[in-house]
Amino acid sequence: MRGSHHPTNPSPFRNPLTTLARAALGLLLGTALAAAHAQAPAAAPALPAPESVSLDKLGYMGTFPPEGAQRVDLSNSYKYPQMRWALQHLRELQPTRNIRRGAAPASALPADPRPLGAFSFDDDKGQPITVDQWLTRTYTDAIVVLHKGKVVYERYDNQMKPWTPHLLFSVTKSFTGLMAAQLAHEGKIDPEALVTKYVPELADSAWGEMKVREVMDMTGGVRFREVYTDPTTEIFGYSWSAGMLPRPPGYQGATNIYDFLKTLKKEGEHGEGFVYRTVHSEVLGWIVSRATGRHWAELMGENIWQKLGMEEDAHVMVDSVGTPLQGAGLNATARDLARFGEMLRQGGTFNGQKIFDKAVIDDTAKGGDRSKFQFRGIQTARPGYSYRNQWWVLHNADGAYEASGIHGQMVHVNPAAEMVVVKLSSHPVASAAATHALTLKAWSALAQAVRR
């Protein structure tokens, strides 16, 4: 985690890597979130005025051909504000695999519009703010609020449309976690078995003596440092192997994610405590594919997207051999994510289909071991939370739980308020720490508003 490790020896690869490359890591991997949860929020950074970095104002990719400052490509797509365009156009920049919605009509999302944007609440500083002001302040691209299965509020900004896919970062992990939990419920994966039962190739790695449950809840010990200024740390190897960063001259390391995972070693004791590591999600996805004999994207399409009656196809980033980024690479629309959240709220069913068994949803929503969540101080950033099946569980009075990704991606489920909120954003700061206190206030305000 950033700030959690001492610098290692200088690397011969340090010079070729630019500040841009290091920024790309924080953007693409969804792992900057780990650093945010491991320590108390720092002083708020200076941020650009949201209206100054709107895509309408910036005009990226708006001429034929785009030239000069209008152009967004791999050389600048991880800078801000070019990133705002990239989050809605990922497959124009990176290889992806499609997640097919099928030929059936889209399932209904009935509307019952309410003026939630004007609803006022006190922000994290005790100052009054409306929902619309909160959305603008947090660089929101799209929000969909469901109450009892009806769309009560929907807003799009920054050129986002209802049919526009958005990069979800670590929300991806929560899909992978639920698929694994369902397979465990069906007896196709044994959570108490060693990882090597399914992936013997990891016998000499950190996962050689790790249980599947420790992967699902991120309590397994693995040395995976995320020091974005130090190319000797494992975050760089992950990015090079996945093809997310240009490989340095003379690079001889892994050229795909699975080969990279084999190189990681144990650090600490398995089961000791929660440590957020994206590589656990990649291993969990590998286990899911081994247990089913199916590609992650095929499972997503057939078991989730098509059964839910999604409006649009989704897609996922892949490496050079087609391995999906099962911890950070999913792209989908806000309305389709709302369908997914509503299915969870209804206990695993939607559109006349059972997507997950209710026992799986209940097991996830109850949360994980809260004492293990306090490991390494993560409780400071997310007080009261726990982590289960790759979902964040609030343990509040409403029984809320959520999927979360950097730069402000959220799928929030509040069973007691019968509410689902999808919020997709392009915040300049990757970490959730700077906005988390305000987000909690907003969730509470929206739950209060829909109950009226």
**What CATH number should be reported for the domain holding residue 85?**
3.40.710.10
Query: What pLDDT was estimated at residue 246?
Result: 83
C-alpha atoms less than 13 angstroms from C-alpha of 23 in its C-beta half-sphere? 16
How far is residue 291's CA from residue 268's CA, in Å, rounded to a whole number?
28
Name 29's Cβ contacts closer than 8 Å, sequence gap at least 6: 169, 226, 235, 238, 239, 244, 278, 327, 328
Residue 420, domain member (yes or no): yes
Taking only the tens place, the pLDDT of each residue in 297-333 is 999 999 999 999 999 999 999 999 999 999 999 999 9
Residue 270, domain member (yes or no): no
How far is residue 308's CA from residue 325's CA, in Å, rounded to a whole number?
22
Compute the average pLDDT of residues 388-401: 98
Check 75, 107, 120, 170 and give the catalytic one: 170
Give the DSSP letter of residue 189: S
Query: What pLDDT was estimated at residue 449?
Result: 98
Q: Which residues of 58-89 are buried (b: 16+ CB within 10 A; e: fewer)?
A: bebbeeeeeeeeeebeeeebbebbbbbbbbbb
Give the DSSP letter of residue 396: -
Q: How many distinct structural domains can be found in the chain? A: 1
The letter for the amino acid at 20 is: L
Compute the average pLDDT of residues 334-344: 98
Residue 440, domain member (yes or no): yes
Residue 317, domain member (yes or no): yes
Residue 374's pLDDT band (cuts 50, 70, 90): confident
Q: By C-alpha distance, which of 5, 36, 97 is closest to 406?
A: 36
Compute the average pLDDT of residues 92-101: 96
Q: Quick check: helix, strand or coil at residue 67?
A: coil
Least confident range of 220-234, 349-363, 416-430: 220-234
Dihedral sign (CA 173, 174, 177, 178): negative
Residue 106, domain member (yes or no): yes
Domain span holding position 355: 19-61+70-187+295-451
Compute the average pLDDT of residues 35-49: 60
Residue 179: phi and psi, rounded to 5, are: -60, -40
pTM above 0.85, yes or no: yes
Query: What pLDDT was estimated at residue 378?
Result: 64
Q: Are 410 and 402 in contact (CB under 8 A)?
A: yes
How far is residue 228's CA from residue 230's CA, in Å, rounded to a whole number?
6
Annotation marks residue 170 as catalytic: yes
Residue 272, domain member (yes or no): no
Query: What pLDDT was estimated at residue 51?
Result: 96
Q: What percentage of the chain carries pLDDT values higher than 90?
A: 83
Residue 293: phi and psi, rounded to 5, are: 70, 20
Taking only the tens place, the pLDDT of each residue in 178-209 is 999 999 999 999 999 999 999 999 999 999 99
Q: Are 11 and 249 in contact (CB under 8 A)?
A: no
Compute the average pLDDT of residues 236-243: 92
Residue 285, domain member (yes or no): no
Residue 341's pLDDT band (cuts 50, 70, 90): very high
Query: What pLDDT was estimated at residue 78?
Result: 86
73: pLDDT strictly greater than 70: yes
Residue 391, domain member (yes or no): yes
Angle at 115 between CA 112 and CA 121, to 5 degrees: 130
Mean of per-residue pLDDT scores for the chain? 90
Query: What pLDDT was estimated at residue 261?
Result: 98
